[in-house]
Chains A and B, each alone.
Chain A
């Protein structure tokens, strides 16, 4: 058998030429304005070099010219799929630097909207990945569930995409009447719907064959390339900022951190390899269930909180802060767990109303860093799978 393969390899190969394909910036499945310079030999990808910068808006530079509160709407636009989480990361940074303590109710509301937004972000990711693999229906199912999250957000802050809901020291508005019941109903609704979603696509043989053993990132490589979030956990590395460096009230909540289990015969990915695209996908699906668990706990905590007298300090949804917020000189780096992984805000203050420097670290950017390495030698269809499974959001890359 092995002799036959050797002989086949020794045969003179047909002369082929490489072709340069410009995939994007208006390709249907580069998830935004990403351009890939793909060199192919027939269907085989020789190299796929990401070309970024089509969406650069100098958000970090704008941060130096607006005051701390005014920068909050810009964080919405850093990653518009999960604006709440971006808001949260920035608010954490400024609050740490200015030593502002946030009331309990505000923390609860923050975690609530952050987890809801994690769900809606993962819905887009897993749905779009299924659509990239040629199954259109799961995408619409995902969007259908996401609409309900948008309804919940519209009730609490009036916006459906860029919320600008969190402020320095709390949240903009308190929960309207009936909002907590709505969230509880959403949790009840989504749990069986996610089981239905799994029946539809996660267990599909074609879907698994398309994703298993495609775009493998080993745990060592994942750490070395600086992958974060579900991409890192998909490679089997147990790292979640919510667990390992708890911020806000995550240390009081019970939830698991799902990691990829490719190659494990009893795992969800028996025919795969640790760190393949399917592992990254399954980690996101499991995270939706974990977020639902968190939401359940937060709902009951909010109900407890409602029982407190109205003037109790824990019932405030905003800390009382001066209108002109001045942050003492210094610098700090704060990270938080976003749907696309660790998002870090590095803030330097010189004691004025505006930051001296603001640096944002995002997950999609580091995922694109290893893209060329991961996709070498794959087929054109696999490149799409890798883009989808890394869950790249381009405004987050270009900023």
Chain B
């Protein structure tokens, strides 16, 4: 953040006082906005994804125009609705001249994102709900638990490298910090489970503790492997390392991303993703809040905004772990297009002397958020498709499968890194080795492409043919054509 400001101010010897104040307050507000935006947008996207998978329409009533317009109408005409006092009426009066604009906006949003403001309606509902603390609860713990859970997600968002210039904090122990602060969430969940004085909540808290402690190991080993490969714990440096600068025409291309750098990282990526799912308590690892087993798990007794804190933390956490996945495997904010990343009108290696290209930063920001959000979408897809594990299956998956796999990959990558100097010497120079590796990656990509083409064009077994024929013909004939959905 400070670097961004100094870049804006130009090369100054001493920071102005307003820069220090801004550098302290702006990041906090930015993280808060990111949390709100991510959680809000994710609830909407989650509902739409679920609706699509479940053959429903999903939210479609709460559009931009009708949301404010209907509220203003209600307040002015009937004196009812939210904030129907003098101040509210004044605000509603301000909306009247905007009605035609609302109507226009309504038409657009209703077409492209129907019901987009459902998260505002949700938020208003949750704020206005009664905040209940059970009589027999451990009150201080009960009240502080959701704050701790949200704070851990809040803290973890701070170190994500959103783009080459825009990041809030970049420490040399960034990944260690994220691993530490993300596991703080468990303490909050355990506190919530214990303090609720509810047996279901207690079971949920214990399950969460067991789960997160176990799955930190494969996740931690995957992070450690990436650190081993890139030689840095800072998320920004790790991203820059994945640009592969100094490799001639090869620099900045997609095969410098960690996931393509060697076969073991390719195996490790799904392992990390599974562990990340478990750390977010998402399906198939939503065991701590398993609604069909433990009513609602650790947040059974929570209402209103305190419940919303858990909810927001879950979505923020999904974004954080997907962001970490993007950094340690998918090259962070790197576009993967070498010609672009090495262009001299494009800030690449974090050197302020090279100048600040705002459009490059913006594209990098979009690329990073896109990569992170792809992970979030994948989590949603998984949630609405597959069932949840049982407690013992979850534990055996972690200890008997994921940890051995990640341990093996960690060792193998260690050997890989140790052997690299010899390979480079054999290849002649670093650039030659890089181009060898690039051709290798290209060959693998071609092989995968050939396999995919074969997979699509392969001869079908009679069983598959019958199934395809049935689904294709009868669904169209009996379904769409005859009034059935």
Are the chains A and B members of one assembly?
A: yes
A179-215 residues with Cβ-Cβ distance < 8 A to B are 185-186, 188-189, 191-193, 195-196, 200-201, 204, 206-207, 209-210
Asked if A28 CB lies within 8 Å of chain B CBs, one says yes
Contact across chains for A381 and B391 when beta carbons are under 8 A apart: yes
* A326 partner residues in chain B, CB cutoff 8 A: none
Contact across chains for A206 and B388 when beta carbons are under 8 A apart: yes
Interface centre among B203, B293, B389, B484 (most CB of A within 10 A): B293
Produce 1/0 per residue, B289-317, CB < 8 A to A. 01111110000000000000000000000
Q: How far is the CB of B451 from chain A (nearest CB, A)?
A: 23
In whole angstroms, how far apart are the Cα atoms of A207 and B293 in the complex? 15
Asked if B475 CB lies within 8 Å of chain A CBs, one says yes
In whole angstroms, how far apart are the Cα atoms of A188 and B473 in the complex? 10
* B482 partner residues in chain A, CB cutoff 8 A: 185, 189
The one of A28, A137, A188, A381 in contact with B385, judged by C-beta atoms closer than 8 angstroms, is A137
Known contacts A206-B386, A210-B387; A134 and B284 CB within 8 A of each other: yes
In whole angstroms, how far apart are the Cα atoms of A382 and B392 in the complex? 11
Contact across chains for A204 and B55 when beta carbons are under 8 A apart: no
* A188 partner residues in chain B, CB cutoff 8 A: 474, 477-478
Contact across chains for B199 and A137 when beta carbons are under 8 A apart: no
Asked if B129 CB lies within 8 Å of chain A CBs, one says no
Contact across chains for B292 and A29 when beta carbons are under 8 A apart: yes
Asked if B485 CB lies within 8 Å of chain A CBs, one says yes
In whole angstroms, how far apart are the Cα atoms of A16 and B5 in the complex? 58
Contact across chains for B387 and A189 when beta carbons are under 8 A apart: no
* A209 partner residues in chain B, CB cutoff 8 A: 389-390, 393
Asked if B283 CB lies within 8 Å of chain A CBs, one says yes
Interface centre among A131, A135, A192, A382 (most CB of B within 10 A): A192
Identify which of A140-148, A248-256, A258-266, A273-281 touches chain B. Answer: A140-148
Asked if A240 CB lies within 8 Å of chain B CBs, one says no
Known contacts A189-B479, A210-B390; A131 and B470 CB within 8 A of each other: no
Interface centre among A193, A201, A379 (most CB of B within 10 A): A193
Contact across chains for B387 and A144 when beta carbons are under 8 A apart: no
Asked if A380 CB lies within 8 Å of chain B CBs, one says yes
Asked if B185 CB lies within 8 Å of chain A CBs, one says no
Known contacts A144-B485, A185-B484, A384-B293; A134 and B388 CB within 8 A of each other: yes
* B53 partner residues in chain A, CB cutoff 8 A: 137
Asked if B400 CB lies within 8 Å of chain A CBs, one says no
- Look across to chain B and name the residue whose beta carbon is closest to the beta carbon of A26: B295
Contact across chains for A195 and B484 when beta carbons are under 8 A apart: no
In whole angstroms, how far apart are the Cα atoms of A27 and B198 in the complex? 14
Contact across chains for A134 and B387 when beta carbons are under 8 A apart: yes
Contact across chains for B392 and A379 when beta carbons are under 8 A apart: yes
Contact across chains for A134 and B470 when beta carbons are under 8 A apart: no
Known contacts A130-B387, A134-B284, A201-B387; A189 and B54 CB within 8 A of each other: no
Contact across chains for A135 and B484 when beta carbons are under 8 A apart: no
Contact across chains for A207 and B55 when beta carbons are under 8 A apart: no
Q: How far is the CB of A165 from chain B (nearest CB, A)?
A: 22
Contact across chains for A189 and B484 when beta carbons are under 8 A apart: yes
Contact across chains for B470 and A192 when beta carbons are under 8 A apart: yes
* A136 partner residues in chain B, CB cutoff 8 A: 50, 54, 384
Contact across chains for B387 and A195 when beta carbons are under 8 A apart: no
Asked if A19 CB lies within 8 Å of chain B CBs, one says yes
Known contacts A204-B387, A381-B290; A28 and B295 CB within 8 A of each other: yes
Known contacts A137-B53, A141-B55; A131 and B386 CB within 8 A of each other: no
In whole angstroms, how far apart are the Cα atoms of A191 and B54 in the complex? 18
Asked if B26 CB lies within 8 Å of chain A CBs, one says no
Contact across chains for A189 and B283 when beta carbons are under 8 A apart: no
Asked if A132 CB lies within 8 Å of chain B CBs, one says yes
Contact across chains for A140 and B478 when beta carbons are under 8 A apart: no
Known contacts A28-B292, A381-B390; A137 and B284 CB within 8 A of each other: no
Contact across chains for B384 and A137 when beta carbons are under 8 A apart: yes
Q: How far is the CB of B215 from chain A (nearest CB, A)?
A: 16
A233-250 residues with Cβ-Cβ distance < 8 A to B are none
In whole angstroms, how far apart are the Cα atoms of A121 and B186 in the complex? 41
- Look across to chain A and name the residue whose beta carbon is closest to the beta carbon of B476: A192
Known contacts A43-B391, A140-B55; A191 and B474 CB within 8 A of each other: yes
Contact across chains for B470 and A206 when beta carbons are under 8 A apart: no
Asked if B471 CB lies within 8 Å of chain A CBs, one says yes
Contact across chains for B293 and A381 when beta carbons are under 8 A apart: yes
For the residues of A in contact with B, the DSSP-based class is: helix
- Look across to chain A and name the residue whose beta carbon is closest to the beta carbon of B467: A195
In whole angstroms, how far apart are the Cα atoms of A130 and B284 in the complex? 13
Asked if A66 CB lies within 8 Å of chain B CBs, one says no
Q: How far is the CB of A65 from chain B (nearest CB, A)?
A: 40
In whole angstroms, how far apart are the Cα atoms of A207 and B291 in the complex? 16
Asked if B56 CB lies within 8 Å of chain A CBs, one says yes
* A186 partner residues in chain B, CB cutoff 8 A: 484
Q: How far is the CB of A143 from chain B (nearest CB, A)?
A: 9
* A185 partner residues in chain B, CB cutoff 8 A: 478, 482, 484
* A196 partner residues in chain B, CB cutoff 8 A: 471
Interface centre among B286, B385, B390 (most CB of A within 10 A): B390
* B293 partner residues in chain A, CB cutoff 8 A: 29, 380-381, 384
Asked if A59 CB lies within 8 Å of chain B CBs, one says no
A94-134 residues with Cβ-Cβ distance < 8 A to B are 130-134
Q: How far is the CB of B461 from chain A (nearest CB, A)?
A: 15
In whole angstroms, how far apart are the Cα atoms of A285 and B484 in the complex? 21
In whole angstroms, how far apart are the Cα atoms of A375 and B380 in the complex? 33
- Look across to chain B and name the residue whose beta carbon is closest to the beta carbon of A144: B55
Known contacts A134-B284, A137-B385; A189 and B478 CB within 8 A of each other: yes
* A189 partner residues in chain B, CB cutoff 8 A: 474-475, 478-479, 482, 484
Q: How far is the CB of A141 from chain B (nearest CB, A)?
A: 7
Asked if A301 CB lies within 8 Å of chain B CBs, one says no
Contact across chains for A132 and B292 when beta carbons are under 8 A apart: yes
Produce 1/0 per residue, B53-90, CB < 8 A to A. 11110000000000000000000000000000000000
* A308 partner residues in chain B, CB cutoff 8 A: none
Known contacts A27-B295, A134-B283, A134-B292; A379 and B474 CB within 8 A of each other: no
A1-33 residues with Cβ-Cβ distance < 8 A to B are 19, 21, 27-29
* A380 partner residues in chain B, CB cutoff 8 A: 203, 293-294
In whole angstroms, how far apart are the Cα atoms of A128 and B351 in the complex? 58
* A207 partner residues in chain B, CB cutoff 8 A: 386-387
* B385 partner residues in chain A, CB cutoff 8 A: 135, 137, 200
Q: How far is the CB of B202 from chain A (nearest CB, A)?
A: 9
Produce 1/0 per residue, B416-446, CB < 8 A to A. 0000000000000000000000000000000
Contact across chains for A191 and B387 when beta carbons are under 8 A apart: no
Interface centre among A43, A134, A192, A196 (most CB of B within 10 A): A134
In whole angstroms, how far apart are the Cα atoms of A16 and B62 in the complex? 52
* A19 partner residues in chain B, CB cutoff 8 A: 199
Contact across chains for B292 and A384 when beta carbons are under 8 A apart: yes
Contact across chains for B387 and A133 when beta carbons are under 8 A apart: yes
In whole angstroms, how far apart are the Cα atoms of A192 and B482 in the complex? 15
* A144 partner residues in chain B, CB cutoff 8 A: 55, 485
Q: How far is the CB of B161 from chain A (nearest CB, A)?
A: 34
Q: List 10 A-B contacts (CB under 8 A).
A: A19-B199, A133-B387, A136-B50, A136-B384, A140-B56, A185-B482, A189-B474, A189-B475, A189-B478, A204-B386
Measured CB to CB, the residues of B under 8 A from A are 50, 53-56, 199-200, 203, 207, 283-284, 286, 290-295, 384-393, 467, 470-471, 474-475, 477-479, 482, 484-485
Q: Which 9 A-B pairs have the closest CB atoms?
A: A134-B388, A188-B478, A135-B387, A133-B387, A189-B478, A29-B292, A140-B54, A134-B387, A132-B292
A185-B482, A192-B475, A380-B203 known; 11 new pairs, CB 8 Å cut-off, are A134-B387, A137-B53, A140-B55, A185-B478, A195-B467, A196-B471, A204-B386, A206-B393, A379-B391, A380-B293, A381-B290
